[in-house]
């Protein structure tokens, strides 16, 4: 059985696509929430004992609580990992169409 006719490959591809899309949108929502909560608050532009972690939003540096900053920075790092996983899953699910396009390309 080849990779082009495997049922398990189809299941893995759809799983990667779903996990990638859900993870991407979860990370995006954390980032969007951070923008809504933080932008426009001038008091968050200076470090404090309770706000030691620096994050950058829209080219400006803001200082937030440690756990909130960790969550925002982790979501920022993982967003494109999940995007890549979802993209790979979609490409794997449509592998026969992609190989057909590859074979029929102009030389």
Q: Does residue 62 sit within a domain?
A: yes
* Residues 4-40 pLDDT 10s: 568 888 899 999 999 999 999 999 999 999 989 888 8
Q: Does residue 88 sit within a domain?
A: yes
* Residues 37-69 pLDDT 10s: 888 888 888 998 999 999 988 888 999 999 999
Q: Does residue 60 sit within a domain?
A: yes
Q: Does residue 106 sit within a domain?
A: no
Q: How far apart are CA 21 and CA 83, in angstroms?
A: 7
**Predicted pLDDT of residue 97:** 80
Q: Provide the domain limits for residue 91.
A: 10-100
Q: Does residue 47 sit within a domain?
A: yes
Please choose, from the candidates 39, 30, 36, the residue with its C-alpha nearest in 3D space to the C-alpha of residue 73: 30
pTM comes to: 0.79
Q: Does residue 74 sit within a domain?
A: yes
**Predicted pLDDT of residue 99:** 80
Residues facing residue 62 across a β-bridge: 55
Q: How many domains is the chain partitioned into structurally?
A: 1
């Amino acid at each position: 059985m080849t990779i082009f006719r495997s049922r398990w490959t189809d299941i893995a591809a759809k799983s990667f696509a779903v996990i990638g899309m859900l993870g991407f949108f979860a990370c995006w929502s954390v980032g969007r929430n951070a923008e809504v909560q933080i932008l426009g608050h001038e008091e968050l532009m200076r470090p404090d004992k309770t706000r030691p972690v620096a994050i950058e939003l829209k080219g400006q540096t803001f200082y937030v609580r440690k756990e909130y900053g960790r969550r925002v920075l982790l979501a920022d790092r993982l967003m494109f990992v999940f995007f890549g996983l979802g993209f790979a899953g979609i490409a794997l699910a449509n592998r026969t169409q992609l190989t057909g396009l590859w074979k029929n390309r102009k030389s």
